[in-house]
Structure 1
Amino acid sequence: MKKLTLLFISISPFYAHAQEALKLWYKQPAGNVWTAALPVGNGRIAGMVFGNPAEELLQLNEATVWTGSPNRNENPEALAALPQIRQLIFDGKQKEAQDLAGEKIQTKLSGGQMYQPVGTLHLAFPGHEHYDNYYRELDIEKAVATTTYMVDGVKYTREVFASVPAQTIIVRLSSSKPGTLGFSAYLTTPQKNAVVKASGKDLTVNGITGSHEGVEGKVKFNGITRVIASGGSVATSDTAVTIKNANSALLFISMATNYVNYQDLSADEVKKASAYLNAAVKQPYATLLKEHIAAYQRYFNRVKIDLGTSDVAKDPTDVRLVNFSKTYDPQFISLYFQFGRYLLISCSQPGGQPATLQGLWNSEMSPPWDSKYTININTEMNYWPAEKDNLPEMHEPLVQMVKELSVTGQGTARILYGARGWVAHHNTDLWRITGPVDRIFYGIWSMGGAWLAQHLWDRYLYNGDRRYLADVYPAIKGAALFFVDDLVEDPKRKYLVVNPGTSPENAPSTRPNVSFDAGCTMDNQIVFDALSAAINAAEILGKDAALVDTFKTVRRRLPPMQVGQYGQLQEWIDDLDNPKDNHRHISHLYGLYPSAQISPDRTPLLASAANTTLLQRGDVSTGWSMGWKVNWWARLQNGEHALKLITNQLSPVGQHGGGTYTNLFDAHAPFQIDGNFGCTSGITEMLMQSHDGVIYVLPALPPQWKNGNIKGLRARGGFVIDDLVWQDGKITKLVITSTLGGNCRIRSAAPLKGKSQLKQASGENSNPFYQVTPVAAPLVHTKTLAPLESAVPNTYDVATEKGKSYHFTAL
């Protein structure tokens, strides 16, 4: 893939108070509370650092430690039963159709394998039960977790980081008085098929993961911790390494498995783990730390944000969380935004696995929802910040997974639906299964692959790399081709519809346990996007002209969006919505975000209906749902309501729905990482949007963020927002760099001026990355609907050249 080095602009430090505050910090240890521990990771291996003085715990993960082995999970009885299931739905017998599909389409094999922990490193410090001056932090500017405290007048310090260059987790233990460091190190593991032992300076765990749902466990894993002390003595028992009277110590943690790819388990896990370890221990600690920070900051430092600060920013993180809704603490939002970027850098690196439902961090052998990939929203949400928040490399593991699913999903499309192309349902795992799993209520939903394929197309809109587009085009094309064969004509309305379909995890109140239907709104929206992406990609690459005509014909026959009797955007093709429904999934607003089919400026009636739906559903919900709502309110240009959702999210768990744990992990509850990424994305959407044919600066700025500055955001079309400064809500500085050239259309609530020629925009944007595909006029079934009122912003065109920057201010 072509490297676009011009995309990433070096940004000098600014606003010292904003950067100094980029720490999560606490006056007490985590104890045994996992969601109070602090996460470190390098995209492949990870640890949770508890900071307990008497017994430090580092809970350990490696990205490919999953149950099972290569497998497929299609039900071969599906295709023969499909016509009957479809007819039952068209006849209004949804329950009968759902029951039959549960028997004939739902998998009878694996419902997905589980992501599992490797184990826990214990560091026992005799005599450290009584301590004072305790402090622990996670510095997200450097990706280092530090714990300090005093015992008998001696200061003890622990530093932990997960290094990308060294491919190990490194722990440094030190004391302020020579000869006073003493501890015992040992490993434990919940894995039943594992052996733990100590030998010399090394602690090792070797094992193989278990079987699950009939799939034999074949992932072999190896973990090695090497303890190197400076001064003092070393003693080794069968299970522990004990250090006495040392000055300091270094611990190197290496983990690896036999996993090569979803089809291949032929690697030597011991050789891999040993190679990482032996390379790391040869380097001085100062070099290891310096190289780790440099590798991390290569990504992290691209974006800076300052929304202001206040005295409460000096409080510990847990205190700020409790008080956030009652105090003025804009810096806490900046911290939370950057924490989301920290998490994405730490759990998703090039060459690795995508972020799971819990990122890279999991302590349970049977985690919630198996900690796999839920692709009816959660996995996609994990990657919403990747491109616009200047972390495109972090997107690469997801792109690779989608390419792999586009291979495994071909068999599923053929066996279950008799269709070409490829399909994935609402869940997948390390082995790239694509058959329907879990409850029949939501398992048979054939949109997962098509939604994921949008990430491939959207990535191109940011990078403009045709070689990349050619590489991912087969997956984009295959996602659309599936619907050419799968869609069927609705005998009543004559539209082409998905049947069977569902609106994820929800059902009409008139049949609460029956989700099956045909032509659900979200299905129609995703199919529209899948076809549009394939059409655009093919035309750019000059491929498949006849197939493009077919795609266009099919797209014209999709159902339009509809506005129901309550002024809401209909969730189903029939007007079945209940205005008192407060379900966490509002999936039919996919068309508002992450798609751009609904726009206050271009489709105000649909925007009004989306606004009504959001008000009817309410604010309080699970963590990820509130994270999605931040993005929706930002797209509706309602900054105050978006901020209200952020405030609900930044509340202790259970206070306003899901909320946030002490360590700022998102709560469904339990922990799911998607809400962290959803909120980071939503904050970005409040400050800058690049869709609907324009770059919109400060589209949803709440009055509470009166003054601020953000640097380094990326916009579609290869534009970088090098600097965006505002005072009293008015832009005082806007610098945009063009890495691809072409027309830059800028929208701002206030008029702009600049050294470059600003022309009042008219007509369609000539920039090919900002082409808008019109949607069909909605069907409106109410007489009370009014278009959403939207400010008439100032819109300008600027002709840009590749590699040049353009400066603007408000008039």
Structure 2
Amino acid sequence: MKSAIGGVGALAVGAGGLGDQAEAATAPGPRGVDTSDELRLWYRSPAVDWEREALPIGNGALGAMVHGTLAAERLQFNEKTLWTGGPGAEGGYDHGDWTAPRPGVLADVQKQLDEQGRLDPETVAGRLGQAKRGYGAYQTFGDLYVDMQGAPEAPDASYRRDLDLRSALASVTYIHQGVRHTREFFASCPDKVLVGRLAADRKGALTCTLRYASPRSDFTATADGDRLTVRGTLEDNGLRFEAQIRVRAEGGTVTATKDGTLTVSGADSAWFVLAAGTDYADTHPGYRGADPHQRVTDTVDAAAAAGHGTLRGRHLRDHRALFERVSLDLRQTTPADVPTDQLLKQYAGGTTAADRALEALFFQYGRYLLIASSRPGSLPANLQGVWNHSTTPPWAADYHVNINLQMNYWPAEAANLAETTEPYDRFVTALLAPGEHTAKEMFGSGGWVVHNETNPYGFTGVHDWATAFWFPEAAAWLSAQLYEHYRFGGSTAYLRATAYPVLKGAARFWLDNLHTDPRDGTLVVSPSYSPEHGDFTAGAAMSQQIVHELFTNTLEAAATLGDAPAFRAELTAALGTLDPGLRIGSWGQLQEWKADLDDRNDDHRHVSHLYALHPGRQIEPGSKWAEAAKVSLTARGDGGTGWSKAWKVNFWARLRDGDHAHTMLAEQLKSSTLPNLWDTHPPFQIDGNFGATSGVVEMLLQSQYDAIEILPALPASWPAGSVRGLRARGGATIDIDWSDGKASRIALTASRTRELTVRSGLLEGGELKFRARAGRTYVWGG
């Protein structure tokens, strides 16, 4: 199709170039303009339940849950490094490494698998596992309560509580005795503080008291002047922590009390800043740094001196610079009088404009949550992002690395939030030192390893939960995200300094530890376990697919960087002998194990043997492997927990079945999403939110096979719409308009000069290969 000409600075194209299929311009395509209705969660009553109803704000390191309670506003807050366990933990800490030598035990298990084919998990755990010691858990920092004098007992029709995703501002408004009261809260990344402001539209009508509470007793709370200081030491491991709050009143006074509270009296408005920290450091083996007192003091004092308006302005600019890169218009309509919890209840599977409004909101909510829970300088998003109200959270609110941490970052690149991956990169790099020790002590090998889950203290070994303790492939899977960051951004400096050492170390581990299957001479992972069910075997499909991807990625990176030919030759030889983990079984399924052990009635939530389809790139659409994957996925059904439904959205999108991908998104919204739109396992687990956002992108844009595919899995439920700002591998930002289920306009802005391939029915022949120039925008359609 011939495009309209008239862009600024049109690029002349000669023979073998774009011909008349596109225009090129130096002016970028439209950015940051969201044509959808309000991107806002809102409710008519305060939150009673932390998990289901409170609203999250965060700046990566700090997070808070806003409840909007009338008599006593509750801000439950977290600082992501407040963890029990690790060095100094009561009972000791061993990183999960075997506490006593076990000579020959791994070889014995491999021999048994060679002879018997399979072993039950309890048997293997009894030989290779051990009880956790000093693992620890993520901790709530506590609660900041703001007791409101003269507040109403119950909300009336004037009450509204909301979270604006565009501004990352959480607000509460209500009218009482003719006075309009407003509250606004945000978590500032630039200034590293939580900020709150309370106001009344009648002079002198604001009187409130700020107090701290915690489920632990390991702290002291003192108040002096306008400052409330909380300081303590975790009893378990001696980790020092501190939080400070400073309050400023406008038109009133601030008074400190001996019981460690601050009271604002007779004010027109008041605002506060909260900073918090610990003496944790991500350095092996001690994991301790400086006392947090001076850092917290400097942070809170600088924020207080800056003033509320300055803090708010910097926060808005910072958040919008990330969030507004992407917009999604599904021709949705948000009913003005329907709060979010009711919108969720009324959701009918995507059949109405209101349903599409919820779907677009859910997509952008995942992007919001990633911005709020993963910013440079913090730990990565954990099982609950940054939010946790417990001292004993589910699964320790840790970093499960048999999918969950990886899933948190699936949308980061394609949904145009590459900056959020810095904490992930830093965390994985910090695992190398303990992971190398575990590889040496447990396996007698080089490279690095981590198993099923880990914590901020470099836990890279094992525990003894039989169905979820052994997963040495995790290091290889973790490394894949770093290589994806390179594939999207193209920085060889990043590849050399950050990604490649991680890739090479993980590859070294498997070069040293792959086992030769005596049945056919192929290299296999042994023992291997397909999460989180079945027996232990040798060469389970997921294990083989992950190692295959690792070797492929490492070889590509080594060639790009010109690494030693001997290492590349060793990798090439191993890849040639490696069992690829792809087999079609007796009922047409993609086998989960090397032997045909699959049960067509198995509906387990893990569909791990489809790793090569997503997030891998070993299975291409239309291949016999894709058809077998479809058989497996159909047999597993549309059930599962929240995160597994989200994974199935991505699977079906990769199979180019947009309608089934949309069905899974609808299932997740209908039965695995809480009123505050958090994903639930149950309980709350944030990876499902991120997986769903990734799945929506996969329906609209794919690029894993080195070609940019436009609308590869568009569902019939979205016949018309537009998306702005998605990213493709190879360094391209994509805008798409579509109608009647087909693309009507594509705009591609290149960030690198290189060859690109675009596939779309809008193009003559369906495909176009051309050399894109950095900074240019190419437009097809009108």
Partner of 2:107: 83
Is residue 637 of structure 2 the alignment partner of residue 618 of structure 1?
Answer: yes
Partner of 1:37: 54
**1:371 Cα deviation after fit:** 0.3
Going from structure 1 to structure 2, the CA distance change for 1:438 and 1:246 (only over 3 Å counts) comes to farther
Partner of 1:162: 187
1:698 to 694, 711, 721: 711
1:468 is paired with a residue whose SS is helix
Partner of 2:228: 203
Going from structure 1 to structure 2, the CA distance change for 1:606 and 1:351 (only over 3 Å counts) comes to same
Q: Which amino acid aligns with 2:85?
A: G
Is residue 212 of structure 2 the alignment partner of residue 187 of structure 1?
Answer: yes
Is residue 663 of structure 2 the alignment partner of residue 649 of structure 1?
Answer: no
1:519 to 527, 535, 539: 539
| Residues 321-360 of structure 1: pairs in structure 2 closer than 5 A | 321-325=344-348, 328=352, 329-360=355-386
Going from structure 1 to structure 2, the CA distance change for 1:93 and 1:489 (only over 3 Å counts) comes to closer
Q: Which amino acid aligns with 1:77?
A: P
Structure 2 contact 75–143 (Cα < 8 Å) conserved: yes
**1:357 Cα deviation after fit:** 0.4
Partner of 2:80: 63
Taking the aligned partners of 2:493 and 2:32, their CA distance within structure 1 comes to: 35
Structure 1 contact 11–301 (Cα < 8 Å) conserved: no
Going from structure 1 to structure 2, the CA distance change for 1:270 and 1:11 (only over 3 Å counts) comes to farther
2:255 is paired with a residue whose SS is strand
**1:566 Cα deviation after fit:** 1.5
Any unmatched runs of 5+ in structure 2? 1-25, 88-92
Partner of 1:405: 431
Partner of 2:511: 484
Structure 1 contact 197–239 (Cα < 8 Å) conserved: yes
2:477 to 448, 451, 462: 451
| Residues 467-482 of structure 1: pairs in structure 2 closer than 5 A | 467-472=493-498, 473-482=500-509
| Residues 219-258 of structure 1: pairs in structure 2 closer than 5 A | 219-237=239-257, 238-258=259-279
**1:481 Cα deviation after fit:** 1.1
Taking the aligned partners of 1:440 and 1:462, their CA distance within structure 2 comes to: 38
**1:104 Cα deviation after fit:** 4.2
Partner of 1:542: 562
Taking the aligned partners of 1:367 and 1:700, their CA distance within structure 2 comes to: 37
2:627 to 608, 625, 637: 608
Any unmatched runs of 5+ in structure 1? 1-6, 212-216, 508-514, 754-759, 761-793
Instruction: List per-residue Cα deviations over 1:261-304 (Å, max 9, x = no partner).
Output: 24341312111111110000011211111110001111111111
Q: Which amino acid aligns with 1:87?
A: K
2:722 to 709, 716, 720: 709
Structure 2 contact 131–464 (Cα < 8 Å) conserved: no
Is residue 694 of structure 2 the alignment partner of residue 681 of structure 1?
Answer: yes
Higher relative contact order, chain-length normalized (CA < 8 Å, sep 6+): 2
1:562 is paired with a residue whose SS is coil
Taking the aligned partners of 2:694 and 2:117, their CA distance within structure 1 comes to: 40
**1:99 Cα deviation after fit:** 4.7
Is residue 612 of structure 2 the alignment partner of residue 591 of structure 1?
Answer: yes
1:388 is paired with a residue whose SS is coil
Partner of 1:578: 599
**1:340 Cα deviation after fit:** 0.6
2:159 is paired with a residue whose SS is strand
1:419 is paired with a residue whose SS is coil
1:691 is paired with a residue whose SS is coil
Structure 2 contact 125–464 (Cα < 8 Å) conserved: no
Structure 1 contact 630–682 (Cα < 8 Å) conserved: yes
1:178 to 189, 199, 203: 203
Going from structure 1 to structure 2, the CA distance change for 1:311 and 1:713 (only over 3 Å counts) comes to closer
Taking the aligned partners of 1:101 and 1:615, their CA distance within structure 2 comes to: 31
Question: How many residues matched?
Answer: 741
Partner of 2:21: none
Is residue 753 of structure 2 the alignment partner of residue 741 of structure 1?
Answer: yes
Structure 2 contact 653–713 (Cα < 8 Å) conserved: yes
Structure 1 contact 21–313 (Cα < 8 Å) conserved: no
- TM norm structure 1: 0.89
Taking the aligned partners of 2:747 and 2:49, their CA distance within structure 1 comes to: 47
Taking the aligned partners of 2:442 and 2:281, their CA distance within structure 1 comes to: 29
2:592 is paired with a residue whose SS is coil
Structure 1 contact 235–241 (Cα < 8 Å) conserved: yes
Partner of 1:142: 167
Structure 1 contact 49–58 (Cα < 8 Å) conserved: yes
Going from structure 1 to structure 2, the CA distance change for 1:705 and 1:544 (only over 3 Å counts) comes to same
Is residue 133 of structure 2 the alignment partner of residue 116 of structure 1?
Answer: no
1:804 to 765, 776, 779: 776
Structure 1 contact 107–435 (Cα < 8 Å) conserved: no
**1:10 Cα deviation after fit:** 8.3
Taking the aligned partners of 2:123 and 2:439, their CA distance within structure 1 comes to: 19
Partner of 1:214: none
| Residues 273-288 of structure 1: pairs in structure 2 closer than 5 A | 273-288=296-311
1:403 is paired with a residue whose SS is helix
Structure 2 contact 125–469 (Cα < 8 Å) conserved: no
Q: Which amino acid aligns with 1:676?
A: N
**1:227 Cα deviation after fit:** 1.9
Structure 2 contact 140–388 (Cα < 8 Å) conserved: yes
- State percent identity of aligned pairs: 38
Q: In terms of mean alpha carbon deviation, does 83-92 or 254-263 score higher?
A: 254-263
Q: In terms of mean alpha carbon deviation, does 169-178 or 194-203 score higher?
A: 194-203
**1:447 Cα deviation after fit:** 0.8
Structure 2 contact 743–762 (Cα < 8 Å) conserved: no
Structure 2 contact 31–725 (Cα < 8 Å) conserved: no
Partner of 1:54: 71
Taking the aligned partners of 1:314 and 1:538, their CA distance within structure 2 comes to: 57
**1:93 Cα deviation after fit:** 6.7
Give the alignment's Cα RMSD to 1 decimal. 1.9
Q: In terms of mean alpha carbon deviation, does 348-357 or 224-233 score higher?
A: 224-233
Going from structure 1 to structure 2, the CA distance change for 1:806 and 1:712 (only over 3 Å counts) comes to same
Structure 1 contact 736–807 (Cα < 8 Å) conserved: yes
2:512 is paired with a residue whose SS is helix
Q: Which amino acid aligns with 1:448?
A: A
**1:103 Cα deviation after fit:** 3.9
2:209 is paired with a residue whose SS is strand
**1:257 Cα deviation after fit:** 0.8
Going from structure 1 to structure 2, the CA distance change for 1:444 and 1:15 (only over 3 Å counts) comes to closer
Structure 2 contact 28–776 (Cα < 8 Å) conserved: no
Structure 1 contact 105–416 (Cα < 8 Å) conserved: no
2:428 is paired with a residue whose SS is helix
Taking the aligned partners of 2:635 and 2:305, their CA distance within structure 1 comes to: 61
Taking the aligned partners of 1:499 and 1:683, their CA distance within structure 2 comes to: 36
Q: Which amino acid aligns with 2:226?
A: K
Going from structure 1 to structure 2, the CA distance change for 1:345 and 1:285 (only over 3 Å counts) comes to same
Partner of 2:128: 105
Structure 2 contact 38–334 (Cα < 8 Å) conserved: no
Q: In terms of mean alpha carbon deviation, does 427-436 or 124-133 score higher?
A: 124-133
Structure 1 contact 146–157 (Cα < 8 Å) conserved: yes
**1:210 Cα deviation after fit:** 3.7
Q: Which amino acid aligns with 1:505?
A: E
1:227 is paired with a residue whose SS is strand
**1:58 Cα deviation after fit:** 0.1
2:346 is paired with a residue whose SS is helix
Structure 1 contact 78–415 (Cα < 8 Å) conserved: no
**1:32 Cα deviation after fit:** 3.9
1:752 to 763, 766, 774: 763
Partner of 2:404: 378
